[in-house]
Amino acid sequence: MMISRITRYPISLLSVVWTALYWWTRPLVKWVLRRTTRLCELQRVCYGEYRGASRSLGIEFSIDHSRTPELQKVGKYLDSRCQEQTLKTNIIHYAVFAIGRIKNINPKVHRRFSVLLEECLAQVWGYRQLMVQIESLRKETYDAGKEEHETKLLRLWDALMPQVPLEKRITKQWQDIGFQGEDPKTDFRGMGILGLDNLLFFAENHTNVARHILMHAQHPRYGYSYAIVGINITHMAYNFLKFGNAKTHFFNSCKGIPNVRAFHQFYSYLFFEFDQLWRHEKPRDIMEFNRVRNKFEVQVKEKLKDPMTLFKCNFILENI
């Protein structure tokens, strides 16, 4: 144990020193590069990084850590629009114009810069607005008194079990698609209406895939609770979005401002891939769920570390 502590200490100390040195020299490096290239940091990122996550992450970092008061105001203005869920293309266009003026960039000479920056800002602040939208859905409690909520729940049954009529609203039949009890509303407590919206989107937009996975979930030996696992995948997707892991995927998949549908697609990919891993692992019983889930989460996080990562819903169905 003593040897382990000794070996870790220098590495930790080196990391702290390196970080402090970077932030201390960053203004000087930026000044030198500006003088030698005649381009500001935002231009260097736009012209020098690959389209998608690499470029947008660079732009986000540059603006978030800028010491220019005017540029900080632009970032805060965009943040406020995200919180209000009113971010639109014209606002992004205005932000690009403002940044060009702040940085003294001639739009006639650097036309390509404006186009590239606008795409990056749409992705970065569109992602932040999406976080607000998803959080709002998560906080919305399922209410059996709301016709909209009840209708969604019934649509979920019809999409997954079209040949089997639902006998009544509260029934053990819900367990056939993986809910815990006779009334599914109690299972949405953690993820709110977001959990239902995810399940419904997957069932209605990737119907054959969803039904196929339901069939896997009903396997006598390797089965699992379809709906409960689906809600658990919602929690995973939500955390990936909230903590920024999913930025690479969204920045690579959305050219403009991402919407809630993009999150549903992300969820659909995760659900399908989890089912693939579950069948590959061949768990002894449902008690191994946490082990398989944790393994899956680690695998997805590793993939999302790659700035080129893009998850596509190109599903290939296989028999049990």
**Tokens 């220098």 label which residue?**
10
Q: What are phi and psi of 148, to 5 degrees?
A: -60, -45
Give the model's pLDDT for residue 205: 97
What Å distances lie between residue 18 and 8, 22, 23, 26, 305, CA to CA?
Answer: 15, 6, 9, 12, 22
Give the model's pLDDT for residue 204: 98
Dihedral angle over CA of 217, 222, 225, 231, nearest 10: -80
DSSP for 39-97? --HHHHHHHHS-TTHHHHHHHHHHHHT---HHHHHHHHHHHHHHHHT---HHHHHHHHH
Give the model's pLDDT for residue 107: 83
Enumerate residues 6+ apart whose C-beta is below 8 A from 214. 160, 177, 178, 226
First to last CA, the chain: 47
Give the model's pLDDT for residue 142: 97
Side chain identity, residue 18? W
Q: Is the pTM of this model over 0.95?
A: no
H/E element, 250: helix 247-253
Give the model's pLDDT for residue 1: 39
249: closest CA among 155, 98, 127, 104? Answer: 127
320 residues of the chain, pLDDT tens digit each: 334 443 444 557 766 665 665 555 666 556 555 567 678 899 999 999 999 999 999 999 999 999 999 999 999 999 999 999 999 999 999 999 999 999 999 888 888 999 999 999 999 999 999 999 999 999 999 999 999 999 999 999 999 999 999 999 999 999 999 999 999 999 999 999 999 999 999 999 999 999 999 999 999 999 999 999 999 999 999 999 999 999 999 999 998 999 999 999 999 999 999 999 999 999 988 899 999 999 999 999 999 999 999 999 988 776 65
